[in-house]
Structure 1
């Protein structure tokens, strides 16, 4: 079977590449299954702290494979959403490296990541309303949380694309690069993040996602439940000992 998703580990960073360049990395059912498996590998590998998601051939993802859909294929997995990502609970930080278009479901895959690095000529599009649909795999929910509400509303109501430059101005894109350099910059960012304790990284991501919309009291209660075991971890002791000994810590993820 063709590898529709490529996985490459460099030190503690796992790069996941959508590999249907002739179809602009449009997502069919099999790609969704393989992407879901790659995300499980990211979370399960104790030697990996951060993931990078990108697309082959100069396009991040053109969304759903409409030809496959016409033949009855759905690129949505139960409990995991579009591409096996948009509704999945991915524990470790995930960075999108976007070249070209992130369109429709492809935009929602990028929004399902925690950070976005994009080439300055990249485009983000949510054209669903032009086809009588709505971006129900994260576009309606996540985009207004990541950029100003009325900007999100404009993008979602018109179907007009959002340039990487404008997305950067609003904070959706964390870093802009020259065309062709998004993956290298995303890996560089991932390597900076991966220098830190993996349990702490996962805790930061988990707490931020779990406490959005809660009042302070409820947020603190949820946070304290989620990080209860962190202070007794080997990594916390290693961090303190490494600081005292003026050396780089050696994280074990436990």
Structure 2
């Protein structure tokens, strides 16, 4: 077994990397399963959030070196999703990474591909590829400069040395810091908090935040206006004010 999928309480799906003896390294089967999971989230109206977690003391050590040694490097990526099946995958469902242990190389890039990160005190993050005459080609060199101060991103890229969870939290790379062994539970709690909001508005908001790093301001205003008009046509748009006036919690339908 390379992974475990579970339905948490409510509308949260959990994907747990489950190759602890291999430090949860990514092989071809895992990459394909990850892409399939994310596509399934987008297709399932009953699931509003995903949590990417892992079994064992390591979140993910990156690429499975046995696969690389056997000449199967290409199998660690999917055509649409890139490395691990998700680092380049277009999607709508927000993802939370639950990092309880080292997230290194491609493992760090999997965490960075998620929208939010919950980490335990024993977590660490690094892209050590330069130590092996490689580059972090799964998005690490693209995402880190937009998430961290430029000189910190440069330090990680050029030294290959990791930073611990506390420093990652202080720098804003990690959203929530929790106790050892509590990363998955903490990530589910964060996901459930988000699920209390209107799902279509959450997805539209996520989309605009993602676009903000690559699209000019004029285009962003256009996208924001279009998203607002689309939300105004939904049943949930009417439910929000109605629930407020009736002094009750809203009942979202995702429609």
Corresponding position of 2:47: 48
Equivalent in the alignment of 1:212: 213
1:198 aligns with 2:196: no
* 1:133 counterpart residue number: 134
Cα distance, 1:193 vs structure 2: 0.7
C-alpha distance in 2 between matches for 1:105 and 1:230: 36
Deviations 1:205-254 (A, max 9, x none): 11111232433222101222344311110111111211111111111111
For the 8 Å contact 1:126–1:159, the answer to whether it is kept is: yes
3-state secondary structure, aligned to 2:14: strand
Aligned-partner Cα distance in 1 for 2:142–2:118: 21
Is 2:92 aligned against 1:95? no
| Distance in 2, Cα, partners of 1:219 & 1:107 | 29
Deviation at 1:99, TM superposition (A): 1.0
The 5 A counterparts of 1:216-231 are 216-231=217-232
Cα contact 1:36–1:85 (8 A) shared by 2: yes
Query: What residue is the counterpart of 2:20 in the other structure?
Result: 21
1:233–1:58 distance in 2 versus 1, CA, 3 Å:
same
Q: 1:8 maps to which residue?
A: 6
- TM superposition score normalised by structure 2: 0.95
Question: How is 1:57-206 mapped onto 2 (pairs within 5 angstroms)?
Answer: 57-73=56-72, 74-206=75-207
Q: List 4+ stretches of structure 1 deviating above 6 A.
A: none
> 1:61-120: CA deviations, max 9, x gaps?
110001012112221111211111100012111100001110100000000001101111
For residues 131 and 197 of structure 2, the distance between their equivalents in structure 1, rounded to whole angstroms, comes to 44
Determine if contact 1:210/1:222 at 8 Å carries over to the other structure.
no
Between the two proteins, the alignment pairs up a number of residues equal to 252
Check whether the contact 2:102–2:122 (CA below 8 A) recurs between aligned residues. no
Alpha-carbon distance in 1 for matches of 2:46, 2:216: 36
Distance 2:230 2:245 in 1: 23
Please list, as runs of the form range in 1=range in 2, the aligned pairs for 1:23-38 lying within 5 A after superposition: 23-38=22-37
CA RMSD of aligned residues (A): 1.2
Counterparts of 1:159 and 1:132 in 2: how far apart (Å)?
A: 11
Q: Measure the CA separation in 2 of the matches of 1:165 and 1:76.
A: 31
